[in-house]
């Protein structure tokens, strides 16, 4: 950010937490360690069990890696600023955090869309699943899901990097793009307009994929003749649906807070909603998927045979 005049940003949200900063530090530290341990444990279980080496579980590993990436971009820095005397962060560091957090957020949605497509293939075309979701196609989809948010957001972010920043206050616990734009020396309405376009690119294709996948899955479930088969199909989709709802809830309120007036909300409410999509999905998703995988492994132990993906 060569045109930046501000050497550092003051994170105003931390002032309210000053009296409880040691307690909040302990909470954030516990959340971070639990997040890393749960996601690492899930990845380790999937890696060590060859019977679980299927595309869906590879995508779960990618989801866990992305969640550790997002948590690492947020929580260590949050704890450091919380204990500092001035609650300031260097401008260049703040710009880096913006990129990390936004690519985490968009990457999460891309992975969830890919997992929705995988479920669509597994349930609607179970006999052709391994030919459709071959190893070569799986790795191509993984590369697309990883690179797409990194490149798309970088294109938009280059506009923010060109702004000259005069303001020095960010009223949040972490740096986000819209707050940097608000701190620019000149009014840049085109940034907001272009930002909506890029939000469209980072959300709508994934949303279309998820809606299409579950529309087709619902159609197939309606035609299944046995209630047991319907239950198995629903059980296959439930963890993914919970992850989508959990993440979408947090993203909706974070985007709404950045673009609409939220002054009528209490500080505690705004703090909770701004941290929801960064803390709760990384904490809850490994538990949701871990329980699902545990049921599959238990069934394998009972019958002593490999269980196909769609069971």
Domain ranges for the chain, please list them. 8-302
CATH of domain 8-302: 1.20.1070.10
Give the pLDDT of residue 303: 32
Give the pLDDT of residue 300: 41
Give the pLDDT of residue 261: 57
Give the pLDDT of residue 225: 55
Give the pLDDT of residue 71: 94
The DSSP bridge pattern shows strands 169-170 and 8-11 to be parallel
Give the pLDDT of residue 48: 85
Per-residue pLDDT of the chain (311 residues; tens, 9 = 90+): 444 456 789 888 888 887 888 888 999 999 999 999 999 998 988 888 877 778 888 999 999 999 999 999 999 999 999 988 888 899 889 999 999 999 999 999 999 999 999 989 988 888 888 888 998 999 999 999 999 999 999 998 988 888 888 888 888 889 988 888 888 887 767 777 887 888 888 888 998 999 898 888 888 777 765 665 666 667 777 788 888 888 887 777 776 665 555 566 666 777 777 788 788 889 888 888 877 765 555 444 433 333 344 43
């Amino acid at each position: 950010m060569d045109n930046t005049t501000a050497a550092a940003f003051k994170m105003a949200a931390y002032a309210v937490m000053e009296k409880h900063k040691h307690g909040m530090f302990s909470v954030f530290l516990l959340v971070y360690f639990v997040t890393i341990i749960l996601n690492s444990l899930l990845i380790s279980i999937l890696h060590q069990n060859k019977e679980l080496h299927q595309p869906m579980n590879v995508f779960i590993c990618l989801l866990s890696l992305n969640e550790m990436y997002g948590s690492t971009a947020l929580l260590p820095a949050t704890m450091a600023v919380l204990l500092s005397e001035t609650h300031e962060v260097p401008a260049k560091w703040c710009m880096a955090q913006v990129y990390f957090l936004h690519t985490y957020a968009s990457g999460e949605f891309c992975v969830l869309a890919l997992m929705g497509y995988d479920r669509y293939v597994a349930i609607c075309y179970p006999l052709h699943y391994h030919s459709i979701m071959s190893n070569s196609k799986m790795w191509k989809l993984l590369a697309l899901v990883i690179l797409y948010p990194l490149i798309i957001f970088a294109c938009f972010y280059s506009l923010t990097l060109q702004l000259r920043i005069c303001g020095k206050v960010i009223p949040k616990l972490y740096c986000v793009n819209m707050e940097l734009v608000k701190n620019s020396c000149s009014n840049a309405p085109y940034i907001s307009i272009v930002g909506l376009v890029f939000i469209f690119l980072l959300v709508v294709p994934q949303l279309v994929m998820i809606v299409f996948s579950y529309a087709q899955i619902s159609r197939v479930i309606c035609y299944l003749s046995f209630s047991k088969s319907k239950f198995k199909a629903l059980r296959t989709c439930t963890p993914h649906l919970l992850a989508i709802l959990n993440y979408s809830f947090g993203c909706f309120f974070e985007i709404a807070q950045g673009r609409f007036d939220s002054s009528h909300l209490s500080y505690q409410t705004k703090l909770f909603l701004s941290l929801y999509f960064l803390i709760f999905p990384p904490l809850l998703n490994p538990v949701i998927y871990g329980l699902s995988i545990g049921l599959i492994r238990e069934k394998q132990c009972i019958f002593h045979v490999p269980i196909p993906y769609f069971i």
